[in-house]
Amino acid sequence: MKIKNLTRTALCVAVPTAAALPTLTSCQQAVEAEKPNVIFILMDDAGYGDFSCYGQTRTETPNIDALAQSGVLFTDIYSNCPVSAPSRGCLMTGLHMGHAQVRDNVEDHSNPVTWDFINIDNHPEAEGQMGLVDGTPTLGTVMQSAGYATGMVGKWGLGSPVGGSAPWDRGFDFYYGCVCQRLAHNYYPLYLWKNGEKVYINDRDKVTIPGTKLDKGADPRDIRSYDKYSKDKVFSPDAMYENVIEFVDTNKDKPFFLMWTTPFPHSPLMAPQEWVDKYVAKYGDEEPLSDEKCNPGKWPHNYYPCRYPRATYSAMISYFDYQVGQLVAHLKELGIYDNTIIIITSDNGPANNNSSPTVWMDSAAPYRCGKGWGKRTLHEGGIRMPFIASWPAKMKEGKVSNHIGYFADIMPTLCELTGVETPQTDGISLLPTLLGKEQPQHEYLYWEFTDFGGQVAVRWGNWKGLIENIHSGNRTMKLFDISTPGKDIEADDKDVAAQHPEIVERMWRYIKESHTTPILPRFEMEIFNE
């Protein structure tokens, strides 16, 4: 199933918001009395084209492909933001970026230990990012209200361990992982958090902080020169997977909701050597990622050198695919696989840095990635996500859906699934698509992002309006017909705004009705105050 050859005919029409839907829907009536388990898998920086079921020809993902072949492969699902914390905040609350609390990655640069991967152990207040306001409904709290055991394993990024907005403060009965997204990007960390307590997984004297160079005189082409980064250490994705299984085993006899928020394949480039070797055999020799290229300056821009960067990137995704396959096998052994919904997606598009060979991988295909096109941008490569949903009890044959939606839809989907009242959201339930029923449509999708020069975007049917460089004074909207996928669909010579002023006017109306004043002034853009 290769989506690169699909044609798209999706059109949007106005419908009531999710909150206005009837209390008992036909979809709820179609769900059996036994509540399904839900496992929501969120990768970190994986692109639209990183899975072979979406057209990837280098990296192999047979287990994720198998879920797509028996479930629904969505072609037009978007992240609500092109970077991590706000993307997760929108997912967690069901609000788009015009209404969101968290609208960018927020770090405390005033604290001298913020980027200190060792001394931060004694300063938990320096961990974490901007948190959610107390009382905010989250996926965790609504699933708790539905009688589900709730768990999260992996990266959080929506508060600190001690600031009142950790996972265990926001609706998750069980948590294991990196509360702080900075610390998630060391795959051999000193510790992880488990239910509010630190679990030390590596010896302090063995932890190699990001930015550490090869030993002086070490041969960068000798794989043994890289031993100090990983040898005799615990790999955090392995520890996380063990806790995924622990949560499933503990709750196998009751309905559970699990979010597995893996750090794969975010930089730095690290994977088990046997998986790297598999792709070295496939790709052949390659130039190492040098100290100079992976360490161009101070954090957050430096990672680790890597002997085989392309092979390692593929290994990271394939190893995670293997873990997904192991989880599926375990669910089958427990006899709960058929009534478990599994959703797999990514928080934003592929990164553009020397530690992420995403251009060579064509990670956003059929869209463009690389500088100015993937992560941190509102181009298709930055926000259009792989999105696969599997539910064996209700889906007997795989299908492709070109329904247009985004992460704000997950909250109303789970609420409709479980029969609980939906908080105010910007989403529309995807449950009809999962059950093969008529699917309500969004009138439009909306994004705003203050970083990378300031950006606003709207999708209405097959039209996309995009405003960039807002902080530099630009107020001109580009308009693109994105009905036919391709790397050039958002190129300047494809801008048809001048030919369709009535559509541009409509887009501006959507922008004005979608923006609310943000919590932090730093999230505001002058375009909304003119």
Tokens of 316: 């990271």
Please tell me the number of Cα atoms within 13 Å of 261 on its side-chain side.
28
Please give the structure tokens belonging to residue 461.
């049917």
Residue where the block lists tokens 């801008």: 495
Do residues 423 and 145 touch, judged by C-beta distance below 8 A? Answer: no
Quote the CA–CA distance of 352 and 361 in Å, as a whole number.
12
Domain range for 128: 3-529
CB atoms closer than 10 angstroms to residue 245: 14
Rounded to 5°, the CA angle 412-417-419 comes to 90
The pLDDT mean for the chain works out to 92
pLDDT of 409-449, one tens digit each?
Answer: 999 999 999 999 999 999 999 999 999 999 999 999 999 99
Predicted pLDDT at 33:
58
For the entire predicted model, the pTM comes to 0.94
Burial class of residue 106 in the structure, from the number of CB atoms within 10 Å of its CB (0-12 exposed, 13-18 middle, 19+ buried): middle
DSSP calls for 151-209 = EEEEE--SS-TTTT-SGGGTT-SEEEEESSTTGGG-SS-SEEEETTEEEE-S-GGG---
Query: What is the C-alpha separation between 162 and 137, in angstroms, rounded?
Result: 20
Strands 463-467 and 256-261: unpaired
Question: pLDDT tens digits for 133-159?
Answer: 999 999 999 999 999 999 999 999 999
Contact of 406 with 445, CB cutoff 8 Å = yes
Q: Give dist(CA 148, CA 140) in Å, integer.
A: 9
Residue-level pLDDT at 16? 32
Among all chains, which residue has been given the structure tokens 């009809």?
Answer: 432
Tell me the two tokens of residue 145: 């209200």
Q: Length of the chain, please?
A: 530
> Reduced to 3 states, what is the DSSP secondary structure of residue 504?
helix
State the Cα–Cα distance between residues 49 and 65, nearest whole angstrom: 12
CB-CB neighbours of 520 under 10 Å = 13
Helix/strand/coil (H/E/C) assignment for every residue in 59-84: CCCHHHHHHHHHCEEEEEEECCCCCH
Q: Which H or E element spans position 434?
A: helix 431-434
Q: Which residues pair with 149 in a beta bridge?
A: 256
175 touches 153 (CB < 8 A)? yes
CATH number of the domain that 184 lies in? 3.40.720.10
DSSP string, 275-334: HHHHHHHHH-----B-HHHH-SSSTTS----BS-HHHHHHHHHHHHHHHHHHHHHHHHHH
pLDDT in tens, 71-106: 999 999 999 999 999 999 999 999 999 999 999 999
Report pLDDT for 116: 83
For residue 482, give both structure tokens. Answer: 């994105």
Give, for 240, the enclosing helix (H) or strand (E): helix 236-250
Which amino acid is residue 3, in one-letter code? I
86: three-class secondary structure by DSSP? helix
pLDDT number for residue 15 = 31
| Residue ranges of the chain whose pLDDT lies below 70 | 1-24, 30-33, 295-301
Number of structural domains (the chain) is: 1
